[in-house]
């Protein structure tokens, strides 16, 4: 295990030798921070501290494939700040995971927890891998080795991981079980986002989507508007995007555009969200794709972002709204659900145009809020009903 600390916040290097990053994701995060710090007239000494991660851990993860061969992947755990409590943040399994990206995400988790007043600092982890090509047994061996390598820096009072892109409640259960085994004691509070039968919390699956709906509803109320009748376009129809669409529609919004990685769909009269969810979950749709869903016109993801609507919800991947397309966006309100959906340049253009942007550190904070409730229940040994 290697522990590193960057001397320059915008120069965090990628630890993945197979991927060259020409744009520092952490550097973009610091651009946002610098502007906020300037507006707040933040003390330069505090600013200097807050632009550097507390700890960056890089590990090698050797594990055996089903065919008997040994692979070695690179993993990370970044603990950005402990100022408000234990570090908190997900574990990401994706081919493009780098130290730079994980550091930026840990940075953003620091502010997300602070915005909703949770007693956590910011953290993030990841493994540079493609979980789609790994069998269940390979995923388990990889995860347990990753957990063993980082277990000295995680724990209920140190750093509490959770699911993220490419990881699941089952993966969290493997991490918890590995740590518990090494500690010779049941340690459910070491991770959140677990299955219910091993200390998970009711309401966790829907939490981020529910938080999106509440954030949009609250923002509209501040502007003297109601959710009823608002035309909404949602990019991304995974767990968060689909649940956001369902809850927004239930509260009176009209969903006029949705998309996944394969296709975008539009229907100005409104899309039947329940039918779309049933369509992607059908056994005869193994890719879980929206392709071929009836009653809608197909278009690209870029065209989807530029559709006429009142509220745009980018819920797919980062940096979808840039200086290149910001002037083409017709929405008057944007709820950033994917982390850093908007680049600093685009954010400035939206500000000039009077477009309201609900930042991702607020719009998608429902997940970490219910993760906090799970952590509390695990510490108490007392589990609440969902309505509580």
Dist CA 258 CA 165 (whole Å): 20
Question: Is 254 one of the annotated active-site residues of the chain?
Answer: no
- Give the integer Cα–Cα distance in Å for 21 and 357: 27
Eight-class DSSP state of 252 = T
- 335 close to 358: Cβ distance less than 8 angstroms: yes
How far apart CA 173 and CA 387 sit, in angstroms, is 24
Closest by CA to 57, choosing from 114, 119, 5, 129, is 5
Phi/psi at 141 (5° precision): -65, -40
**135 CB burial (10 A radius; 0-12, 13-18, 19+):** exposed
CA distance 256 to 233: 6
Q: DSSP labels for 175-211?
A: HHHHHHHHHTS--GGG-SS--GGGT--TTHHHHHHHH
What is the rounded CA–CA span in Å between residue 196 and residue 189? 13
Catalytically annotated residue among 124, 158, 226, 254? 124
Q: How far apart are CA 153 and CA 143, in angstroms?
A: 16
Residue 11: CB partners within 8 Å, gap ≥ 6? Answer: 24, 27
Q: How many of the other CB atoms lie within 10 Å of CB of 54?
A: 18
Residues labelled catalytic? 124
């Amino acid at each position: 295990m290697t522990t590193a600390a960057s001397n320059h916040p915008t120069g965090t290097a990628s630890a993945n030798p197979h991927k060259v990053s020409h744009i520092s994701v952490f550097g973009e995060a610091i651009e946002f921070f610098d502007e906020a710090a300037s507006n707040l007239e933040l003390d330069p000494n505090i600013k200097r501290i807050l632009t550097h991660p507390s700890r960056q851990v890089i590990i090698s993860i050797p594990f055996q494939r089903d065919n008997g061969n040994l692979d070695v992947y690179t993993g990370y755990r970044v603990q950005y700040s402990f100022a408000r409590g234990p570090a908190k943040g997900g574990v990401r399994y994706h081919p493009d995971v780098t130290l730079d990206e994980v550091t930026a995400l840990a940075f953003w988790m620091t502010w997300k927890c602070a915005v909703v007043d949770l007693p956590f600092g910011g953290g993030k982890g990841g493994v540079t891998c493609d979980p789609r090509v790994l069998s269940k047994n390979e995923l388990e061996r990889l995860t347990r080795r990753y957990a063993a390598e980082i277990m000295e820096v995680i724990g209920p009072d140190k750093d509490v991981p959770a699911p993220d892109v490419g990881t699941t409640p089952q993966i969290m259960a493997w991490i918890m079980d590995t740590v518990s085994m090494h500690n010779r004691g049941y340690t459910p509070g070491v991770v959140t986002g677990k299955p219910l039968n091993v200390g998970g919390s009711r309401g966790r699956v829907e939490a981020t989507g529910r938080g999106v709906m509440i954030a949009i509803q609250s923002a509209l109320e501040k502007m003297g508007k109601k959710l009823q009748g608002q035309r909404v376009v949602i990019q991304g129809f995974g767990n968060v995007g689909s649940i956001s669409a369902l809850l927004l529609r239930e509260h009176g919004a009209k969903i006029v555009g949705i998309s996944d990685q394969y296709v975008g769909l539009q229907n100005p009269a409104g899309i039947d969200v329940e039918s779309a969810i049933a369509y992607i979950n059908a056994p005869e749709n193994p890719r879980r794709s929206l392709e071929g869903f009836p009653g809608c016109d197909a278009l690209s993801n870029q065209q989807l972002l530029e559709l006429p609507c009142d509220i745009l919800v980018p819920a797919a991947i980062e940096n979808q709204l840039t200086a290149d397309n910001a002037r083409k966006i017709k929405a008057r309100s944007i709820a950033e659900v994917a982390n850093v959906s908007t680049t600093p340049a685009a954010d400035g253009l939206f500000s000039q145009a009077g477009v309201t942007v609900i930042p991702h550190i607020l719009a998608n904070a429902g997940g970490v809020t219910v993760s906090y409730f799970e952590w509390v229940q695990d510490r108490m040994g007392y589990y609440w009903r969902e309505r509580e």
